[in-house]
Amino acid sequence: MSDQIAKFYAYVDSHEADFVQRLADAVLYPSISSDQTPQGRQNVISMGSYIHAQFAQFVAKPEDVQLVDLGFQDNTNPQIRLPPVVLARIGEDANKKTVLVYSHYDVQPVGGWKEANVQDPDAFILNTTRPDGQLIGRGATDDKGPIMGWLNVLEAHKSIADGLGKPLAEILPVNIRFLFEGMEESSSLGLDKWINEEVQKPNKGWFNGIQCACITDNYWLTTHRPALTYGLRGIAYFSINIEGATNDLHSGSFGRMVHEPMTDLVKLFSLLVGTNGVIFKEVEEMVPAPTPEERAQYAQLDYAVSDLRQDIGNPVELSEDPVELVMGRMRYPSLSIHGIQGAFDTITTAIPHKISGRFSIRLVGKQTPKAVHEIVDKFLRKEFDNLKSKNKMSLTLEAQGIPWVGDKDHWNFKAAHAATIAVHGVNLTPDYTREGGSIPITLTIEQALDGENVLLLPMGRSDDGAHSLREKLDRDNYFKGTKVYGTYLYELAKQVAS
Who contacts 373 (Cβ-Cβ below 8 Å, separation ≥6)?
A: 236, 238, 395, 397, 400
Task: Please give the distance of CA 409 from its chain centroid, rounded to a whole number.
Answer: 23
CB atoms within 10 A of CB 436: 19
Q: Whole-angstrom Cα distance, residue 139 to residue 122?
A: 13
Catalytic position from the list 106, 260, 264, 307: 106
Q: Whole-angstrom Cα distance, residue 478 to residue 146?
A: 8
Does 3 participate in catalysis according to the annotation? no
Q: Whole-angstrom Cα distance, residue 400 to residue 236?
A: 5
**Parallel/antiparallel/unpaired status of strands 227-232 and 431-435:** parallel
Catalytic position from the list 142, 143, 155, 184: 184
CA atoms within 13 A on the CB side of 54: 25
**Parallel/antiparallel/unpaired status of strands 404-405 and 65-68:** unpaired
Rounded to a whole number, what is the distance in angstroms from the first to the last CA of the chain? 25
Q: Whole-angstrom Cα distance, residue 326 to residue 436?
A: 9
CB atoms within 10 A of CB 132: 7
Does 260 participate in catalysis according to the annotation? no
Are the beta carbons of 224 and 301 closer than 8 angstroms? Answer: no
Burial (0-12, 13-18, 19+ Cβ within 10 Å), 150? buried
- Identify any residues that bridge with 104 across adjacent strands, giving them in sequence order: 181
Q: Whole-angstrom Cα distance, residue 324 to residue 53?
A: 46
Burial (0-12, 13-18, 19+ Cβ within 10 Å), 94? exposed
Q: What is the spatial order of strands in the sheet that 234-243 belongs to? A: 334-341, 354-363, 234-243, 392-401
Catalytic residues: 106, 184
